[in-house]
Amino acid sequence: DHAQKMNADTLVRGVRQISDFEYEFRMALTNKRLAPNVDTVFLMPDEEFTFISASIVKEVAYWGGDLSSFVPTLVADALTEKFKNKTD
């Protein structure tokens, strides 16, 4: 629904590994049935980034780790701010 509300005709999804592809493929088929005019395009990362996921990045940020090799500075700054007053 969101893609159609935004007048989007393409969804871009990242696929890091086979398990991601299996999930994303099923989701793309479902989306195609719900919105036949919206296509899904899968992009694969460079090999060095295949292990990075949102949950890993958030975990590193939560514990105050260095995010510079995971995300752009703007994102790292936002996550650092979000988790700066965390409670253990």
Q: Terminus-to-terminus CA distance in the chain, angstroms?
A: 38
What CA–CA distance (Å, rounded) separates 76 from 67?
Answer: 6
- pTM more than 0.85: no
Higher pLDDT, 53 or 40: 40
Mean pLDDT of the 51-80 span: 94
Rg for the chain (alpha carbons), in Å?
Answer: 16
3 state SS of 46: coil
Instruction: Please tell me the predicted confidence (pLDDT) of residue 63.
Output: 94
What CA–CA distance (Å, rounded) separates 28 from 26?
Answer: 5
For the chain, domain boundaries: 1-47, 52-88
For residue 88, pLDDT over 70 is answered with no
